[in-house]
Structure 1
Amino acid sequence: MKFGLKSVLLACLFTLPAILPVCAPAAYADEPVRLSEDIKLQVNDKLVQFPDAQPFVDENHKLQVPARVVADKLGYQVNWEPAGSEIKVTIKDNKNTLSLQTGNKSVTVNGQHEKIESAAELVDGRVYVPVRLISDSFDIQTQWDNQNRIAILGADGSYHAPAWYRPSPAVQTASQAPAPAYSKMIEVKATAYTASPGENGGYGGVDYMGNSLSLGTIAVDPSVIPLGSKVLIKGYSYMGLPANGLYATATDIGGAIKGNRIDIFLPENRAQAKLFGMQNVQVYVLNP
């Protein structure tokens, strides 16, 4: 992740949605990578009902939502037009305009061109849009309730309690996988970092071992968690990470990562990664 020995080694080697019906054949649509189950969306104090298509988390761990339903719930206007096998979409209110095309990571917000990590998707004739793109484009306050798996859009500028509460853990035991075999469990404080060179001793995009940074890379104090260790991290609260724990590999170090500390790489920009803050988590060092 960061400084010191990393530079020496490198010198030697080296996440609105609603349903947008279209006439495009289903063959044009790629099946999404559904990494989550039963994620819900709330606008202000009301849960959004999706009649026949549900939000999902894509391969970049971004929450994608079916677009027309959410836009309607927010009171936004939606226009669309076919673009070959894809769909061009414009979402606007009385102040902001978002233009995008499914399958394309280039978007336009109020006339300014931007690049996003996850493109909107066309799935079974429906357009899905990253919920973060909507909230950022329209200056909507966003909350993530990890316990109840609800993304809450505060379009009115206020914070809101969840409109739905997940059943107690005792009811969910059938869906919980048994814990993997591990050699030890460590309580640590976790922070998050990105591929920004400023967070990596000038070496943006690579870890201490010379590997490309990716979700599942963590920085550790090797005297506590040996480099190369496979681990399972639990106990965090962050929408961009898997709900039931993150499998990761300790391949990075950091000048500030000493003792019971870890730094989790997030494929986000620095502003978003800062939302992770500092959290108490459990690290299970898995058996080889």
Structure 2
Amino acid sequence: MHTITKGLTSLAVSLTVLAGGFLSPFTANAAEMDVKVQVNDELVQFPDAQPFLDDNHATQVPIRFVTEKLGYDVKWQKEGDEIKVMLNNNKHSITLVSGQKEAEIDSNRVEMDTHAEFQNGRVYVPLRFLSKASDIPVQWDASSKLAILSKDGNKHAPDYELFQSTAYSADPSENGGYGAFDYMGNPLGIGTVAVDPTVIPLGSKLYIEGYNFNGLPAGGMYAYATDTGGAIKGKRLDIFIPGSKKSLQKFGIQTIKVYKLSN
């Protein structure tokens, strides 16, 4: 289980990282990704709006986060209750309107299988259409609900690694006798994980899934590697979960998928 001596060293590391602009860990309100998108070998981050499958079973993605990875300049304008989006890069020009199936690719009118959507201030575009319009192949990994866009034209495997995972609580006995703070001085919370810094650098952003425990967001969650542990070595990860030390013993040892996100 999780043991670490925290104190002056932890405080010094915390102040150093905070001075460099490090942000607090994600908390429970960080939504899980029902559908994930990878461009080449990098999982795309969706901090405040998540991809989803629409009624036509098409993958809809927040347009800005994906198109920026594909090198597009994004412009939009409101037209009544609809949003007109214009995408341009050195190869293609794409125009589409939320709620409409018709779109333009390099001034040629085309019809999409499903329309773009405007929800909660975000425009979502069918990923399959974006892939076809950009001449970028897409493959679907059903086991992880992961769409992989091969911008470079090469075949890419899902960008995750399998880790052995345990769970720890805020009990002082699991925190070197100290309070409910991680190695960097942040309060422990959902999204805090302890890692071996030689495998996952401290401060890394992660997306983890594959665990099975009622105290964690169902499906998966964003996390920050901000804690360490004496027993956390190699490809092992310790997930903080609110609750008693005894209640977390039910977590046991589980195999999870860990996606490393760029900072």
Question: Normalised by the size of structure 2, how large is the TM-score?
Answer: 0.50
Larger RCO, structure (CA 8 Å, separation 6 or more): 2
